[in-house]
Amino acid sequence: MAEKSLLAFIGGAFLYSENHDALANWYSKMLGIIWEKTPDGSAYYQSYYYNEIDSGKKAYVGLSIIHSKKKIARDEGKSHMINYRVSDLARLVELLRSNGLEVKGIDKYPEGDFAWCKDPDGNEMELWEDTTLK
């Protein structure tokens, strides 16, 4: 089992679409999801808030539909990526790289630090340390 400081939780799921407006509308009609839209119109998102068990701090899991111009490089039609929220991104990236995994990043954004890699089956992963909670 991983050390407590390296545990990962789902941070978000991202769907990529050439027609993100239509896909967001479909999810609204079929599942009742009420979306917010980014100021530049490139994505729809919904945040689901909860309190972390350990610290009691407010955190969230996000669901996004992103226009395909923003999509990640993908193999054979894959159109999703799972985001894992981690507590110590630098240490995790070091661990992954020391085990032979290619990791891209660490990039810093207002909502936190990010890195990207693929799991052993080639599934895209985004690793996110929410630095706004610190």
Domain coordinates of the chain in residue numbers? 4-133
For the cut 90, the answer to whether the pLDDT of residue 102 exceeds it is: yes
Rounded to whole angstroms, the maximal C-alpha distance in the chain is: 46
The CATH number fitting domain 4-133, selected from 3.30.70.2190, 3.40.1210.10, 2.115.10.20, 3.10.180.10 = 3.10.180.10
Residue 118 vs residues 88, 109, 121: alpha-carbon distances, Å: 18, 21, 7
For the cut 50, the answer to whether the pLDDT of residue 1 exceeds it is: no
CA pair distance 11, 129, nearest whole angstrom: 9
**Tens of pLDDT, residues 19-50:** 899 989 888 988 788 999 999 999 999 998 88
Closest CA to 63 of 24, 30, 18: 24
